[in-house]
Structure 1
Amino acid sequence: MTLVRDASVRARELGAALKAARSKVGFHGNEIAERLGWSTSKVSRMETGDRACGKLDVATYLAYCGVVGDELARLIDMAEEPDSGLWSQGLDEHVGDDLRTLVMLESSARTAHNYEPLAIPGLTQTEGYIRALFRAGGMVSQEAFDSLVYARLRRQRVLDRDDAPDFHFFVHENALRTQVGGPRVMHEQMLHLLLLGTQPNCRIRVAPRGVEPRTGFVGPFACYEQAEYRSVVYVEQLGASTFLDGPPVEMYQRVLASLATDALSEEESRSLLARLASDYDRPG
């Protein structure tokens, strides 16, 4: 039986940042422990998120690793935040989808479930769809536009890894029928979804029109199940994102159970995607 560690997503990201800072300057864990007069166990537990990191310990550790400026301030602020199982982060348009925490979860998950009622899931979007979506939203500056597009495309590389998580995408039919960028973009997007659905680690199911999760109307979210840690839910709002790894996760898991019952099967979903691809394959 695998022991589930109690480290929160905030503690894990802080620990990963500490380890990255140490690795960048070529130090070993036992070396930094000796220099700081700490046990190797303390350093290890700080880096895995299994030990609460106070502001002073974090500042001392980072100072030894030569971390200064904005990154030092960011990590010290992270150490000061209460670890309540709900962690919100403001979105910087120059970082956008390339959030460190989100990438960490997508890379380390055993199974990932994603529900999108309004748009194609980000990990499955074509470049044309991404660009059209950002333009339609009008929230991305021209200066940051290309960097955000490529950041989302880089995230998609996780789908092709040999050790990729098992991804389950639930996408609402309304999202498939909402034209983003015109028929040509949507035609390519439908074909891309069909292709992704042939990958062994990628399952795509459509929630048909008239069907909503029986637990109520909910917005887009992703749930990451991990072998060693508690499940984490990611919810993105305008201007901020929230990570949940406490009791509220159970509510989202009930929504997923409802979707698993009510959504079209994978075969039925492929048939619908193929029909939509044909419908979009027209001049426009």
Structure 2
Amino acid sequence: MTTEHHVEPAPDPTSSTLAFFGSELRLRREAAGLSQTELARLVHCAPSLLSKIESAKRVPKEDMAELCDCALGTDGFFGRLWPVMIRNAYPAWFRPFVDLEQQAVAIRSFEMQFVPGLLQTEEYARAILAGGRPDSVKLEELVVARMHRQRVLSRDDPPRLWVILDETAIRRRIGGAAVMRAQLARLLEAAQIPRIVVQVVPFDVRNHPVLTGAFWTFSFDEGPDVVHMDSFYEGQLRAEPEVVAATHHAYDLLRALALSPEASADLIASAIKDLSP
């Protein structure tokens, strides 16, 4: 076994799922008689990155977890642990939202300030999440978790997604001009997908029906729709028939007042031009 140049201190495995992942990786690497340098070579990463993963200072990518299983002969242990680690990166109140998002056959979203998470670029998501001022490790956990959520749109049976944005969401320069240009380009790409509709409510709408905050509606093959409403501290899920009906009515009004998908795409393209150097 080769000499390690620098070994980060071991994390408390009970402190988080990320720390458990790192401590288990270290234990199983050492049991296999491999140095960090040797395992790093097998999983195609720098030894310094592997050291940070073992000490719960960096979040591993999913393919790296699978490579660790291959290198250490752990029978898929790290591959199975990875999605558990990602799910636990979310605040506890948000995990039911993610579960519903994965089960829904149709998703309707209205956002006042931001492009919704399912359509965010990584840098845009990082800029938004950094606003909450988490530590660097937690920030990276949250970014990886948000990107992981987007896989629901590329699976074999993706949900239908209807997104309505207030014009504020495409004008606010989250992360700076370059980040925002890339985000708006991603939004235009998504709008070309048949199962995704993107509309924008322009600034000049006088009687805006929903100025109180963002909301999402989830529809399923069986069972009633569920509504998620955002708030300052945390969102809430509601399934009472009167709440769902009121939300559907508000969404219908938003669709009527929003620009058509084609005109919305033109406005987004115009916003990209406004961000040009």
**TM-score with structure 1 setting the length:** 0.63
Kept in 2, the 8 Å contact 1:213–1:255? The answer is: no
CA RMSD of aligned residues (A): 2.1
- The alignment of Structure 1 onto Structure 2 pairs a total of residues equal to 190
User: For residues 271 and 97 of structure 1, what CA distance do their matches in structure 2 show?
Assistant: 39
Aligned to 1:101: 96
Kept in 2, the 8 Å contact 1:107–1:164? The answer is: no
Unaligned runs of 5+ in 1: 1-91
Shift of 1:97: 9.0
Shift of 1:121: 1.1
Secondary structure at the counterpart of residue 233 of structure 1: strand
Aligned to 2:127: 132
User: For residues 167 and 160 of structure 1, what CA distance do their matches in structure 2 show?
Assistant: 12
Aligned to 1:159: 153
Secondary structure at the counterpart of residue 219 of structure 1: coil
Note closer, same or farther for the CA distance 1:215–1:272 as it changes in structure 2 (3 Å cut).
Answer: closer
Secondary structure at the counterpart of residue 168 of structure 1: strand
User: For residues 93 and 272 of structure 2, what CA distance do their matches in structure 1 show?
Assistant: 29
Task: State the one-letter code of the partner of 1:245.
Answer: A
Shift of 1:212: 6.4
User: For residues 168 and 199 of structure 1, what CA distance do their matches in structure 2 show?
Assistant: 11
Task: State the one-letter code of the partner of 1:144.
Answer: K
- Runs of 4+ in structure 1 off by over 6 angstroms are none
Aligned to 1:63: none
The correspondence of residues 48-59 of structure 1 with structure 2, limited to 5 A, is none
Shift of 1:99: 3.6
Note closer, same or farther for the CA distance 1:98–1:158 as it changes in structure 2 (3 Å cut).
Answer: farther
Aligned to 1:217: 211
- Does residue 118 (structure 1) correspond to residue 113 (structure 2)? The answer is yes
**TM-score with structure 2 setting the length:** 0.64
Secondary structure at the counterpart of residue 114 of structure 1: strand
Task: State the one-letter code of the partner of 1:232.
Answer: V
Which structure has more RCO (C-alpha within 8 Å, separation ≥ 6)?
1
Shift of 1:214: 4.7
Aligned to 1:38: none
User: For residues 155 and 97 of structure 1, what CA distance do their matches in structure 2 show?
Assistant: 16
- Does residue 252 (structure 1) correspond to residue 247 (structure 2)? The answer is yes
User: For residues 174 and 265 of structure 1, what CA distance do their matches in structure 2 show?
Assistant: 17
Secondary structure at the counterpart of residue 235 of structure 2: strand
Shift of 1:237: 2.4
Note closer, same or farther for the CA distance 1:220–1:212 as it changes in structure 2 (3 Å cut).
Answer: farther
Shift of 1:139: 3.8
The correspondence of residues 1-284 of structure 1 with structure 2, limited to 5 A, is 94-96=89-91, 99-135=94-130, 137-211=131-205, 214-246=208-240, 247-282=242-277
Shift of 1:225: 1.4
User: For residues 265 and 251 of structure 1, what CA distance do their matches in structure 2 show?
Assistant: 23
